[in-house]
Structure formats: structure tokens, C-alpha cells
Amino acid sequence: MTIPGLGILKGLRQTARNYWSPKVTNQYPESRPTMPDRWRGRLDLIYDPFGEHKCEVCFQCAQVCPVEAIDMSGFDSTGKRIRYGLPEIYDERKDPNAYRRAGLPAAPMRNAARWDEEVDTSWLHGVIDGFGGRPEALVAIFSAVEERYGYLPERALREVSERMSIHWAQIFGAAGLGGFRLLPADGHLVTVCTCAACSFAGGGALLEALCADLGIQPGETTADGSVSLAVADDVAAGALSPALRIDTMVYGPLSVEKARHVVAQRRKAPARSKAAAGTAS
Amino acid sequence: MTDTSLSPQIRILPGGDQRLLAGIGVIDPTSLDSYRKAGGYAGLARAIEKLGPEGTIDEIAEAGLRGRGGGGYPTADKWRAARSAAGESKVVVANLIGADPTALGDRALAEGNPHLLLEGVLIAAFATGASDAVIAVRRDWTVAIERLRAAVAQAEAAHLAGYLIKGTDFSCVVRVSEGAAALVAGEETALLAALEGDRGMPVIRPPYPTERGLGGAPTTVQNGETLAHAAWIATHGSKKFRAIGSKDAPGTKLVSVYGRVAQPGLVEVALGTRLSEIVAFAGGGTGTTKAAFVGGPGGGAIADLDTAYDFGPLHDAGAGIGLGQFLVADTDTCMVDSARFFLDYSAREACGKAVPCRIGTKRLVETLDRILAASPRPNDLLLLRELSRKMTDTALCHLEARAPGPMLTTLDRFPDEYRAHAERGECLAGACRTTPVPPLISPLAHL
């Protein structure tokens, strides 16, 4: 049986209790309330002074949410629109950065040509076993793979993951942070050093000249496939600055003319075929 | 005939106070006998036979050795913490990742005198009670890796490493391991993560590695140069070590000088040397020297070249000792562009774990780009400071905390260059290609 108005009376009883109870003012900075350890304060300042959203769609909150209740949409730091939903549905979520932001094992490199290339990995077992399967040898194993193919093919990394019983995400994460090439480069790989020593000794002019000469930007290959241009800061030129590396040889110190000459010379020599290295025994 | 030369990148400058560098070029890096003839492994013998573990730590404490990896933490304190930490097995990790490839000190030592490094590792292992040691070397330093591996094998054959060293019950198995080639890989917790097969990203400290490190064991992570100094102290004694250097930080430091100098290269100087003297060791500046960026991407610009090259004074000046990077800038160098370079480097090398670092460095670069393009927002200069402060406050690792350093110090010392770029689109150094901003014409001017 329900009595009309009983609910509201119950509610008002609480109101009345609060109304007559003694009032307390907390002297805030002097006496502070005890908060849970992981309390990080209230979120505030959604917009910056220019009216732009402060949220970077970084997915950090989604990543730590224990019940996976957070999803978001918006524009990321590159101005790319990110939508609600699953990575499988929306293209922009297949972007490497989107995967990395969401803390997912980044498979997006598959979109790139040759990333998923078939390679012969039978030799890898010997190398891995030679290191005793110790996880600290990962970087050494990656180095061996890179030396053989010129980059880290996904098939080889999968093989490492399987053979060493390490999660694929962990393998890919480790490979992404060691300065390894994840994509193949055609022809001779010309790497211009961008370390502080080289940059301040005129490395920028070197890069500009080579870009203009070859007609490509770093990360691209010339139309005839003879030279790929890249930048790295680990040519470690030191006393050789400004320097560049062609395949594995370091040249320096170079003036712009000398750099042009060296690249032109090496361009004539036949490049090691990456595909051949991959399929040989 | 084995090749004993160093990589062509490393040029050792004459002059300075050569201690660690003294043996390079004299001692055959591929021969144990050559190193022993020059008095090698006497320090290890002295530590084991005379000093004992506690005595060795006391000797290092008396010498006042501080970590040469940038932090300047007293080495003896670290060793004592590792020694007293609970744990059945302990580990020593030698950090030869060379986080910033322009710092050549560790590479020169590993290539030119690998046994000195190994002796330092063994002494650290003996003092801290470690039975395992890992020498983590940047993977593209192939010569260094090869020579260190050979040195370990030779030492094991001569019962100087491995099991039952010198007939005592002290054993230490030394392994040489390749490490990633990345800035963040040199951070100690990131290095340990990488050695465990993880992506090399820093973790929150405490617990410090000396409590719980590699595989949960108490771990002493020490920069290669520090270990070489420790070997030198064990050999020559703490009194001799204190003979040069400053009061707070005795001894020497390997400094890689580059930028606008006649002879870029590696020089060993006593701590407390004036910055101008270091420039002079490199053959002087090629132009009028304006400032020196000390400490690489985590350091800062110092305009007063009378500043002492020492932990304290550099820290007070907003810079740091870093790994010994020393970039000389002359009047033709744009300080705004230089600051952008270092920030961009930090942004590219960010591991991505801490949000303030990953996004903060990007925002700082974008803000500097706006200033360089002469189209800043009204309070961009304030934004730079505000953002830097937040990055430092919320930092996960020291790389992040110190990343804004080059920008903050140039902003403090060369505000005119920032203002000229922001307001008039003019580069005071004449280095940047800029488009001058046309003077603002009021739409009501014709009235």
C-alpha cells in the first residue's frame, strides 16, 4: 500500500535534518580533507584562452579506465579528426599514432607497402638460440635482422615473438624505440645526420642541397629507385660533422659540393638488393 | 695485426687534464697484457686484497666521486644503498647507451680502453656485492661492442672476471649487451626495462634500481665514465683523485666540444674549468662566441663564459653537465632556432609514456614555430614559461624535466632575439630565412 506524499516527506526529513545540523567551515589551506591516494583534482579548463579544446584526444584516460568506459572523438595534435568507435571501423583510427595513443599493438604498418613482405626467416632460429633466448638480447637480434634485410620485416618480428614467447605488442614496442628502420628502403640509403654537432656545422644546408638534387624529401626514394633519402641523429658525426652515411659508410666532414659528389659517385654503384637478401638461404 | 684505432668520429684534443684519456692511443685496446703493463687491474687487486668491499666504498666516498651521467649523485651513496639492500643476487649495469650520440666520452673509453671500463665494473660489483654485471652498449657502436666482448673473454681467461676472481670467493659474470639507439634508452629505469625485453620506457621512481632493479634484484646503474673514474681511484687512491677538480666535485670530466669551433672533439678537463678555456681547447670559436649550450637537449645556454664547468655552477645557471655535450654558438647562431632544434630533438625522441612530455614538447615546438614565423599569439612567450613549468613539475624522468632547459635559458638571456622574431620577423643573428612583417596599416589611415 502506498501513502501519497510519503516519499516527499521522507526526503524532506533529510532536508530538515541538514537544515538544523551544525554548520562547519573547513579552513581550506590550513586544514585539508583526506583524499584517496590517486586523487588528481577536478578536471578544469576545457578550453584554452583561444577557445581551442585542450583535449588532445590522447586516449590516455581511455587507456587507464579500468572498465573501458571512456571513448572520445575530436581533433588530435596533427589536426586529424578522431571519431568514436572501434579502430576497425574508422580509417583515421588505423593511423599509427592512433594505435599508439590507445596503447594497442600497432599493426598499422601493414598498410605500408612491403611491410608484410614474405621473407625467409629460417636462419633466425639459430641466431635466437645462440643468444640463449634471453630477453636482453632483443636489441642484438633486431640488429641482426636489420643487417640482413636492411629493415625489420613484420614476418621476422613475428618469428622472434613466437620463438622467444614474448608478446607481439612487446616485441613491436621494443623495435619501435631503438632507432631501427621499420620499412625497407630501395637502392642506396643516404642518411643525413641531424645530430646537434652536424646541424650546427651546416647539416641543414647539406640536406637541402641533396633534397633539391635528388628531387625527393627525406623518407622518399628517387623515381629510378637508386637512392633513398633519410635523416637520423645517430650517425654520431662528432669530429666528422657535418656528415652523411651511405648504406653503412660514414662520410665527413662534407661541404655541399663534396656531399653532392659522394652521393653521385655511390649512386652509380649497384645497390645491394634487399629482396635478394631476404630470399637467399 | 689487429686494428687498434678509434672510430673516425672520435677526435681526442690535446691538452686538458688527461686521466682516463691518457691510456687511449698508448694502450692496445685489444690486449690484456698491454693494459696490465700500464698498471691495469692493480685497482681491482687493491680493492679485493687490501680494501675489502666497505673499504672500497669508503675510498670512493673520500674521493668524492659523483656520477658523470648528468645527475651528479654521489657514487659511494649509491653503492652503499645497493650493498645494504636486501636481495640474494645483485647486479651492476654499466650504462654505455650514449643517449645523445654527440657525447663521445663513453664511446672513446669503450673503444680505446675497454679493460679500464671492465675493471670499473668489477670494482663496482665487488663493492656492492653483485654477482652479475651487464655492460649495455649502444647498438651502433660496433667497434666498442667487439672490443668489450674480447676484453671480457681475456679477463675471464686470466681469472680477472667470471667465477672465483683472483682465487677468492668473489665471482662476477660480465655480459656485454646491445642497447637501443635512442635518447630515452639512456635513462636508468628505461635501460633496465629494455634489458628485460620491454620497450625502453622509464618507470616511476621510487623504488630506485638500487632497491629493485633488473629482474627485481638490487641494481647499481652507473655511467661508463663514472666506472672508469672508480677504477682510477682504486688504482691511484682518493688523495690523488682530489688533486684536481673543484671542492664539491673533484676529478675530471670528458667533454665533447662541437658547434662553431675550429676543432670539434673530445677533451678531458678538471671540473671547475672555465667555459672559455674549454672553448680554447677546441681551437677557439670560429666566430665571436656568444654562448655555449652545455648539457645537450637537457642542458641550457650560458652566455657568461667565465662560469665554472661544474655541477653546482652549471645547475645554478639553468644548464647541466649532461653527458658532457658542449655546443658552442657564435653571433651567427640564432638562439630561437637553436632552442627549437633542441626541443624538436626532445620531441622526436620522446618515448610517449608521459603525456606532458609527449604533447608538451610538441606544443613548445609549435609555439616556437609561430614565433619564428612572426605570427605569435599574444601571450606565446608566457605560454612557453607556463608549459615548461608544468612539464618540469609533472615529469616522469629527468629527460622530460630538463627538456625545456635550452629554451628557458635562451629566453632569459636573449629575450631580444625572441622579441625581434615575434614582433618584427627579424633574426638578430641573421641566420634564419625570415619574411619581415609589413608594418600594420590601420584601415582608417586614409581618413
| Min distance B32 CA to chain A CA atoms (Å) | 26
Confidence of residue B430 (pLDDT cuts 50, 70, 90): confident
Q: Show Cβ contacts of residue A241 under 8 Å, excluding neighbours closer than 6 positions.
A: A193, A195, A197, A198, A200, A201, A203, A252, A253, B258, B264
Classify residue B229: in a domain, yes or no: yes
| Residue A110 confidence (pLDDT) above 50 | no
Spatial CB neighbours of B176, under 8 Å, sequence gap ≥ 6: B134, B135, B137, B145, B148, B149, B152
Query: Does residue B301 share a domain with residue B217?
Result: no
| CB-closest option in A177, A241, A250 to B200 | A177
Q: Is 70 exceeded by the pLDDT of residue A245? A: yes
Of B10, B102, B198, Cβ closest to residue A195: B102
Contact between B264 and A239 using a beta-carbon 8 Å cutoff: yes
Evaluate whether residue B1 is within a structural domain: no
Most B CBs within 10 Å, among A43, A157, A177, A195, to test the B interface:
A177
The mean pLDDT of chain B is 90
* String of DSSP letters for chain A: ---TTHHHHHHHHHHHHHHHSPP----TTTS-----TT--------B-TTS-B------HHHHH-TT------EE-TTS-EE-SS-TTT-GGGGSHHHHHHTT----GGGGSTTTT-----HHHHHHHHHTTT-GGGHHHHHHHHHHHHSS--HHHHHHHHHHHT--HHHHHHHHTTTT---S---SEEEEEE-SHHHIIIIIHHHHHHHHHHHT--TT-B-TTSSEEEEEES-S--GGG-S-EEETTEEE-S--HHHHHHHHHHHHHSPPPPHHHHHH--
CA B38 → CA B16, B23, B113, B158, B268, distances in Å? 21, 8, 11, 16, 20
pLDDT digits (tens, 9 = 90+) for A36-89: 877 767 666 567 767 766 777 766 666 566 666 677 777 766 666 766 665 555
Question: How far apart are alpha carbons B171 and A139 in whole angstroms?
Answer: 27
Above 60 in pLDDT, residue B445? no
- Both B95 and B193 in one domain: the answer is yes
Domain-located, residue B430: no
Determine the Cα–Cα distance for residues B81 and B206; give it in Å rounded to an integer: 13
B194 & B286 share domain: no
Residue carrying the nine cell digits 614582433: B423
Specify if B273 maps to a domain. yes
Same domain, B86 and B47: yes
Instruction: Identify the domain containing residue B122 by its residue range.
Output: 12-242
Render pLDDT for A160-213 as a digit per residue (tens, 0 to 9): 988 888 877 678 778 878 788 877 777 888 999 988 888 888 888 889 999 999
Say how far apart CA B112 and CA B25 lie, in whole Å. Answer: 7
Burial of A67 (0-12, 13-18, 19+ CB in 10 A): exposed
Q: At A136, is the pLDDT very low, low, confident or very high (cuts 50, 70, 90)? A: confident
Same domain, B324 and B268: yes
Same domain, B269 and B341: no
pLDDT digits (tens, 9 = 90+) for A212-231: 999 888 878 888 888 888 88
Average of per-residue pLDDT across B78-90:
93
Q: What is the dihedral of CA B269, B270, B271, B276, to 10 degrees?
A: -50
Distance (Å) from the alpha carbon of A139 to chain B's nearest alpha carbon? 6
Q: What is the pTM of this model?
A: 0.82
A280 CA: distance to closest CA in chain B (Å): 25
**Residues B190 and B319 reside in one and the same domain:** no
> Looking at the 3D structure of chain B, how many domains does it have?
3
The beta-carbon neighbor of A166 closest among B197, B297, B325 is: B197
Question: Which CATH number goes with the domain that contains B142?
Answer: 3.40.50.11540
CB contact under 8 A, A174 and B200: yes
Q: Which residues contact A125 (CB under 8 A, 6 or more apart)?
A: A163
Q: Is the peptide bond before A253 cis (omega within 30 degrees of 0)?
A: yes
Q: Which of A177, A179, A237 has its CB closest to that of B199?
A: A177
Among residues B182, B210, B242, which one ends one of the domains?
B242
Residue B101: closest CA among chain A residues belongs to which residue? Answer: A236
Q: Which of A100, A136, A199 sits opposite B196 (nearest CB)?
A: A136
Q: Which is higher by pLDDT, B375 or B309? A: B309
Which of A49, A174, A234 faces B197 most closely, judged by CB atoms? A174
Is the predicted pLDDT of residue A4 greater than 50, yes or no?
yes
Chain B CA closest to residue A135: B197
CATH number of the domain bearing residue B372: 1.20.1440.230
Decide which of B242, B269, B284 is a domain's last residue.
B242
Question: Which chain B residues are Cβ-neighbours of A178 within 8 angstroms?
Answer: 139, 180-182, 185, 200
Q: How many Å lie between the alpha carbon of A18 and the closest alpha carbon of chain B?
A: 40
Q: Is the pLDDT of residue B363 over 60?
A: yes
- Across the A:B interface, residue pairs with CB atoms under 8 Å apart total 142
Residues B225 and B169 in one domain: yes
Q: What is the pLDDT of residue B311?
A: 93
C-alpha cell at B285: 670559436
Nearest residue, CB atoms, A170 vs list B198, B329, B359:
B198
Question: Which neighbouring-strand residues pair with B178?
Answer: B137
Residue in B closest to A166 by C-alpha: B197
CA–CA separation, A130 vs B137, rounded Å? 19
In the chain, the amino acid numbered B79 is: W
Residue B3 lies in a domain: no
Which residues of chain B are within 8 Å of residue A174 when distances are taken between CB atoms? 180, 194, 197-200
The per-residue pLDDT for A74 is 75
Phi, psi of B25 (to 5 degrees): 95, -20
Whether B446 is covered by a domain: the verdict is no
Residues B298 and B340 in one domain: no
Asked if B235 and B172 sit in the same domain, the reply is yes
Read off the DSSP letter of residue B377: -
- The three-point CA angle B429-B336-B377 to 5° equals 120
Residues A273-281: what's their mean pLDDT? Answer: 40
Interface list for chain A against chain B, based on CB atoms closer than 8 Å: 49-50, 56, 58, 60, 77, 100, 135-140, 143, 164, 166, 170, 173-174, 176-179, 195-197, 199-201, 233-241, 250
| A197 contact residues in B (CB cutoff 8 A) | 102, 256, 258-259, 264, 327
Q: Is residue B7 part of a domain?
A: no
Verify that B234 and B97 share a domain, yes or no: yes
Distance CA B322, CA B317 (A): 14
- Any idea what the Cα angle at residue B297 is, between residues B292 and B298, rounded to 5°? 95
Question: According to the model, what pLDDT value does residue B51 have?
Answer: 94
**Domains of chain A from N-terminus onward:** 46-92+118-181 (no CATH), 188-270 (3.40.30.10)
Query: How far apart are the C-alpha atoms of B346 and B296, rounded to whole Å?
Result: 10
636489420: which residue's cell? A146
- Please indicate, yes or no, if residue B365 is contained in any of the structural domains: yes
> Which residues of chain B does A207 touch, with a Cβ-Cβ cutoff of 8 Å?
none
- How many alpha carbons lie under 13 Å from residue B115 in its C-beta half-sphere? 27
Asked if residue B16 lies in contact with residue B132, where contact means CB atoms within 8 angstroms, the answer is no
Q: Which helix (H) or strand (E) holds B6?
A: none
- Smallest Cα distance from B82 to chain A, Å: 22
Same-domain check for residues B87 and B151: yes
- Which pLDDT value is given to residue A95? 55
CA distances from A31 to A27, A34, A40 (A): 6, 10, 18
- How many angstroms away from the CA of A26 is the closest CA of chain B? 28
| One-letter amino acid for residue B302 of the chain | I
Condensed to tens digits (0 to 9), the pLDDT of residues B92-131 reads: 999 999 888 888 999 999 999 999 999 999 999 999 999 9
Burial code (b: 16+ CB inside 10 Å, e: under 16) for A96-105 equals ebbbbbbeee
| B184 contacts on A by Cβ (under 8 Å) | 177
Cβ contact B262:A253 at 8 Å? no
Residue after which a domain boundary falls, among B330, B347, B365:
B330
Say which CATH number the domain at B274 has: 3.10.20.600
- Residue-wise pLDDT tens digits, B273-294: 999 999 999 999 888 999 999 9
Contacts of A166 in chain B (CB under 8 A): 197
